[in-house]
Amino acid sequence: MKKIQSLILKSYNKKIDSIGLAMFRIFYCIFLFCEIKDMFYFKELIFDRIPFLVSYEISIDILLLFWIISIVMLCIGLFTRTFAVVNYLFTIIICGTITSYEYHMFYAYLGVGFLFLFMPISKSYSLDALILKLKHSNAKVAYNPDTKVSQIYYFLPLFLTIGLIYIYSVFYKFSSDYWMTGLGMWRPSVFPNFNAYGETIFINNLFLTKLFGYTMIIFEFVFVFLFWFKKLRIPFFITGIGLHLGILIFFLIPWFALGYMAIYLLLVPVSYFRKFFAFFKSKKQTLHFVYDGDCPLCNRTKIIITSLDFFNKIAFVTAQNVKRKHNIEAINAIEDEQLILHIHSFSNKGKVYKGVDTSKYFLE
């Protein structure tokens, strides 16, 4: 118990970048949005007392519509705390009351929805972070909010929605003759309502069937005890993604597979995300934007564009310093007052754009 307590305290006190939480939030919300879309499409079958004849007591369309709005807001990170509460309420109302069409992804929706109430999921890549930056910035100083979070927030969804559900699943498998004889994965594969492709090599190969069946039991059993350890996170990530990729390909429950794959993103070291985004970032900006360094509105515009410039294509230089920092003949010929009053920009080749031409170049 002391070792467990020490491990939890160490994870709680360790601060890491929140970029992984942002990726988890975005992809999880996208897949949950798709799940709700399917619920809306099949709402008569799921919610009607008698499908298409006797409807539910209240209009389920309104509930699903507001739930979708809350998921979109969580995805872009706007008013995150408020819509986390709204999302959790709708998750309880809908996922917590469905019985005929209930499946194991609902447990994950309930767990993650609850954790969203407390997790700092809007620290990075969110409109809330942008609003906070705009609120505390001025013409002289650009405020950069803290993006570090406790590492425990990466572990909580993994523990609650993967680890505990896997343990629950393992106890079921231990009591199943099919799973204990290695045929647990084979059984649903032979039913056409589960299998997307009919007969495959996998179904007809006893060795592969038993290998994957027993591997799943072992993996689910050890996950909750070992995923905490740094050296095992990448192997567990690869195994988990492979497992749910197989579910995505062969079985007709795509949002379960993709939803769990989104949660598995929390196992990826944050340095991998930084390297991934750095690979796509331009090493050299292609457009230099000239702005009035003393103008609060111009500085706010700079902050917004910089926050949305994911590929590092735009550099900003003040009108007060542009002639000193960049010796460009076309810029030097423009009066200082005109540089301040009107939007100007220039490319790496020295071509100058004015007014709407800057916007056109930026959009292109």
Q: pLDDT digits over 128-147, tens only?
A: 999 999 888 876 777 888 89
* Torsional sign, CA 218, 224, 229, 232: positive
- Is the pLDDT at 122 greater than 90? The verdict is yes
Residue 52 has a pLDDT of 79
Sheet holding 352-354, edge to edge: 314-318, 287-291, 344-347, 352-354
Whether residue 259 sits in one domain with residue 293: no
The one-letter code for the residue type at 283 is K
What is the DSSP-derived secondary structure letter of residue 317? E
What is the CA 42 to chain-centroid distance, rounded?
26
What residue type is assigned to position 40 of the chain?
F
Q: What is the pTM of this model?
A: 0.88
Q: For residue 258, how many other CB atoms are within 10 A of its CB? A: 21
Close Cβ partners of 31 (under 8 Å, ≥ 6 residues apart): 255, 258, 259, 262
Q: Give the pLDDT mean for 316-327.
A: 80
Residue 208's pLDDT band, with cuts at 50, 70 and 90, is confident
118 and 170 co-located in one domain: no
pLDDT surpasses 80 at 151: yes
Specify the length of the chain in residues: 364
**Residue type present at position 120:** P
| Shared-domain flag, residues 155 and 276 | yes
What is the end-to-end Cα distance of the chain in Å, rounded?
59
Question: How do strand 287-291 and strand 314-318 relate by DSSP bridges?
Answer: parallel
Residue after which a domain boundary falls, among 135, 167, 194: 135
Statement: residue 198 has pLDDT above 60: no
* Same domain, yes or no: 275 and 158: yes
Within a domain: 2: no
Residues 301 and 330 in one domain: yes
Q: What mean pLDDT do residues 243-265 have?
A: 89
How many domains does the chain contain in total?
3
How many angstroms separate the Cα of 79 from the Cα of each of 74, 84, 282, 340?
Answer: 8, 9, 31, 35
Within 10 Å of residue 332's Cβ, how many Cβ atoms? Answer: 10
Of 280, 310, 343, the position where a domain reaches its end is 280
b/e for 336-348, b at 16 or more Cβ within 10 A?
eeebbeebbbbee
Claim to verify: residue 273 and residue 293 sit in the same structural domain:
no
358 pLDDT higher than 80: no
| pLDDT score for 322 | 80
Say whether both 220 and 253 belong to one domain.
yes
Q: How confident is the model at residue 200 (pLDDT cuts 50, 70, 90)?
A: low
Q: Are residues 259 and 289 in the same domain?
A: no
What is the pLDDT, as a whole number, of residue 295? 82
pLDDT over threshold 60, residue 184: yes
Question: Can you list the positions of beta strands (E) in 252-333?
Answer: 287-291, 314-318
**Mean pLDDT in the chain?**
85
Tell me which DSSP letter residue 52 carries.
T
What is the domain range of residue 180? 150-280
